[in-house]
Structure 1
């Protein structure tokens, strides 16, 4: 049942110093111990997520080095632990998102809420119980618990599948959990890497979709992505009053919550409506709002989606042949440097996927 085609040491493109994060270096590193339910995946490509920038730049604290980021991984199963029973086979194409471990035994895990488990381990930069600091997908291989590897439908190209594993599921989960569908009016705030996917998914789920952005610069893109309406908040500062009692759901996909006026947004909500943020801002950000504005309205923050939800997202994308907007860059010191620099400037429409792994890691 097992295969040992993975090497004793893995290679990756790593951040060695947060102060010099835009100059990552190719390194060799020890993988985590191989446990009976683990699998090894030979990586084909990996999406670039905003979280990678936060982690690399030190916005989330001083993470253990070498820091190999990347949690939108697509690759092939090359090794199976002796206790693996998920149905995965050698040669299967799978995806791994931003979570690689949970206890799988608590009520949260048993109810498909693995991202909310106290034993959650993120794909990179967090220690397992044995002390090993997790390493992500800017590498030739990744070793994870089999539960967190999800089969990829044949008709989804790998470079388009990769961003679904974190960015995609992060916006799909609140849409799914809050009733996005026919007869619902849904707003997506922030038309970027995650927000653009929110427009695509909400439309495919049958909702009437509103793109909400600071200016009209992305209006044409938003309409191509599936939006039925477009709101430019800086051009209509009190847009909440104009759209009073409109929305069943608004998902906030902005990089920062500082620019979102939570004293305006609730006005546009229906009674019982939900405002859900998926933002993971810098540590020092504080949310300011007037509690009276929340009468009849709920505001919350959503984490990742669970494995069951990732499978539902992949099914939606596969059945509807949905195409997110992705630019590819070659993995390597220069490719990652370019991705970091352009992401930091917002120069991407709307996701990057790192490819050409075989070329880089055969060296």
Structure 2
């Protein structure tokens, strides 16, 4: 079916793209289906996953690739079988996942954890393939097309620039916090105070944790962490005995660190009996080894979490409105995507970059 708009965006053509060498060019979106929605993109958050993908860090990237999976804009075309009561003109968004099998006999999809679907049909929002073999393209672009099941109405109380990074960065922290009991009576630690970690503090606070401990290598983010809502700050570079001094102090630890050199065994010392450690950062190499007694002695658990399910994203957006959660963001014009990716790689974001497609913002 023809449209009066073109699908074009910033394309990574090889691993040098991460050094500011993306090229603006056209591409062919997935074939239209009546369950799909086309979005005219106004805002696109920049995620660490974008950099890993642009440089083929996790695996060889299927170039050409348009990254960006924190997308907000307006629906310009809605299929007659679309879900979610989405109408043309609605302000909507999509996060890191754009498809799953959705089969009734799929244990994950049937039980509201589509983000863990293990079947053919699951697709990431970019650098992946839909069931028909067509490629998925992301949000550093003018338009996006994908299945409506993974498209969300944005509450009017949340600005587009705030909503965009919540759709991956926000849910990546909200989901493991909520699923692992963050709330009154719980003490929570957030490891890594960056784009993900700052959401960890914000949502731990919104969920009502009794105590929030921010953990980072250097002391330079202490003031920010306390302003975000942390009650305590641990700088691991400043105190050589930090793990000993803060042993058995938290019930839940969420690690956003993407370095394979993290002091994992020392992190585990911070857990209380029956505490839980959840890894959400994704290093390009293996996690470090640790002694089994770090878990056995306390009956502790270690696990992982991947983004969040559609139902959790809607729940997170509702909580965002209720508790007036506001991300710390820096906006940049879409035309400056290359420089912004470079700045992201240099850790200059405080704490999420959002690209603004100025041609589409009225």
TM-score range, shorter chain: over 0.9
Give the aligned partner of residue 135 of structure 2: 133
Alpha carbons of structure 1 residues 141 and 6: separation in structure 2 relative to 1, 3 Å: farther
1:17 aligns with 2:14: yes
Deviation (angstroms), 1:62: 2.6
Deviations 1:268-303 (A, max 9, x none): 211111000101111x33431111111211111111
Give the aligned partner of residue 55 of structure 1: 53
Q: Mean alpha-carbon deviation: is it higher for 226-235 or for 155-164?
A: 226-235
Taking the aligned partners of 1:287 and 1:100, their CA distance within structure 2 comes to 32
Match of 2:198 among 191, 196, 201: 196
Give the aligned partner of residue 116 of structure 1: 116
Deviation (angstroms), 1:243: 2.2
8 Å CA contact 1:4, 1:78 repeated in 2: no
Deviation (angstroms), 1:19: 2.7
1:228 aligns with 2:226: no
> What aligned pairs does 1:85-96 form with structure 2 within 5 A after superposition?
85-96=83-94
Deviations 1:22-81 (A, max 9, x none): 211110111110112111111111000000011011212332222100000001111111
Alpha carbons of structure 1 residues 117 and 43: separation in structure 2 relative to 1, 3 Å: same
Deviation (angstroms), 1:267: 1.9
2:140 alignment partner, SS class: coil
Match of 1:33 among 27, 31, 35: 31
Match of 2:212 among 189, 209, 212: 209
Match of 1:154 among 149, 153, 156: 156
Taking the aligned partners of 2:327 and 2:223, their CA distance within structure 1 comes to 16
Deviations 1:237-264 (A, max 9, x none): 3323222222110000123242x21221
Alpha carbons of structure 1 residues 192 and 152: separation in structure 2 relative to 1, 3 Å: same
Count of aligned pairs between the two proteins: 354
Match of 2:100 among 76, 94, 102: 102
8 Å CA contact 1:257, 1:279 repeated in 2: no
1:170 alignment partner, SS class: helix
TM-score (normalised: structure 2) = 0.94
Deviations 1:164-185 (A, max 9, x none): 0001100111000000001110
Deviation (angstroms), 1:6: 5.3
8 Å CA contact 1:199, 1:209 repeated in 2: yes
Structure 2 residue runs of 5 or longer lacking an equivalent are: none
Taking the aligned partners of 1:289 and 1:61, their CA distance within structure 2 comes to 25
Give the aligned partner of residue 186 of structure 1: 188
Structure 1 outlier segments of 4+, above 3 Å? 3-6
1:246 aligns with 2:253: no
Deviation (angstroms), 1:359: 6.2
8 Å CA contact 2:83, 2:149 repeated in 1: no
Taking the aligned partners of 1:6 and 1:136, their CA distance within structure 2 comes to 20
CA RMSD after TM alignment: 1.7
> What aligned pairs does 1:174-323 form with structure 2 within 5 A after superposition?
174-207=176-209, 208-258=211-261, 260-282=262-284, 284-295=285-296, 296-323=299-326
Taking the aligned partners of 2:56 and 2:338, their CA distance within structure 1 comes to 16
8 Å CA contact 2:125, 2:136 repeated in 1: yes
Taking the aligned partners of 1:37 and 1:249, their CA distance within structure 2 comes to 39
8 Å CA contact 2:212, 2:230 repeated in 1: yes
